[in-house]
């Protein structure tokens, strides 16, 4: 039973437009959520996070929105750049699980000129 | 220098062979993890360690073992490699901060079992 789901395996967006990556979860016990970015031949790198007590967190071009009632979070990238092309993983953690992270399956974002 | 390093970066081995993947970190974190990534399956936790004397199984520990030689070193062994262990393996470290854990990953080891 997958607790963190990314239902879109891929997304293609034109440079300068908004990229929206989605993530759904099933467990209301999660305390926080993170987004990681992964380039080929590299490990995932931390991008942005949000606490379950907030509904929005912004860092430059990246904003994460959390809708707890829908158990849904999204990552917005505005404006999208070719260097944003990567695989994005959402992850969830909480003290109930000794803070071990549970990862989604990833969404491959391609930003084209 | 990278904070989390993994050796080797690529490895080809044969069915039945024993192999070891190594991870070292300079971040000073107590917590270390081993994951595998398969296409379409995301990152699955194999083993984790919250300090040198603490070792715990993750979701998919069968066929694997680990050793935490020091705070900075966490090794993953495949006792008798099989083809379905062909995958990308990642080591990660973390330390609680501000009410959450952020994990920092190594560059990965690509393993092919023939």
Identify from B6, B8, B30, B43 which residue to disrupt to test chain A contact, counting A C-beta atoms within 10 A and taking the largest count: B43
Dist. CA B38–CA B85, nearest whole Å? 9
- From the list B45, B96, B107, the residue facing A42 with the nearest CB is B107
Question: pLDDT tens digits, chain B, 114 residues: what are they?
Answer: 569 999 999 999 999 999 999 999 999 999 999 999 998 788 999 999 999 999 999 999 999 999 999 999 999 999 999 999 999 999 999 988 878 889 999 999 999 999
Q: How many CB pairs under 8 A join A and B?
A: 54
A14, pLDDT greater than 70:
yes
Residue of chain B nearest A43, judged by CA positions: B107
Collapse the DSSP code of A25 into the 3-class scheme (helix H, G, I; strand E, B; otherwise coil) and give the result.
strand
A97, pLDDT greater than 80:
no
Dist. CA B66–CA A80, nearest whole Å? 41
* Average pLDDT across chain A, whole number: 94
Dist. CA B94–CA A43, nearest whole Å? 14
Q: How many other CB atoms are found less than 10 A from the CB of residue A50? A: 21
Dist. CA A88–CA A46, nearest whole Å? 10
Q: Using alpha carbons, list the distances in angstroms from residue B94 to A101, B31, B73, B102.
A: 10, 5, 13, 6
Buried b (16+ CB within 10 A) or exposed e, A73-82: bbbbbeebee
């Amino acid at each position: 039973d997958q607790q963190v789901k990314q239902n879109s395996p891929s997304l293609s967006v034109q440079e300068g437009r908004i990229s929206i990556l989605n993530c759904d979860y099933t467990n209301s016990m999660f305390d926080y959520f993170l987004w990681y970015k992964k380039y080929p031949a590299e490990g995932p790198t931390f991008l942005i996070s949000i606490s379950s007590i907030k509904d929005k967190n912004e860092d430059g071009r990246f904003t994460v929105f959390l809708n707890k009632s829908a158990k849904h979070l999204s990552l917005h990238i505005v404006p999208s750049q070719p260097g944003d092309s990567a695989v994005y993983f959402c992850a969830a953690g909480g003290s109930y699980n000794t803070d071990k992270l549970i990862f989604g399956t990833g969404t491959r974002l391609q930003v084209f000129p | 220098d990278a904070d989390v390093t993994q050796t080797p970066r690529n490895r080809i081995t044969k069915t039945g062979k024993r192999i070891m993947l190594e991870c070292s970190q300079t971040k000073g974190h107590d917590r270390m993890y081993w994951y595998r990534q398969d296409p379409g399956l995301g990152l699955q936790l194999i083993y984790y360690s919250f300090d040198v004397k603490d070792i715990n199984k993750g979701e998919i520990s069968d066929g694997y073992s680990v050793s935490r030689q020091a705070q900075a070193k966490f090794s993953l062994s495949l006792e008798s490699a099989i083809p379905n262990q062909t995958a990308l393996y990642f080591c990660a470290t973390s330390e609680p901060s501000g009410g959450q854990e952020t994990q920092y990953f190594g560059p990965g080891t690509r393993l092919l079992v023939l």
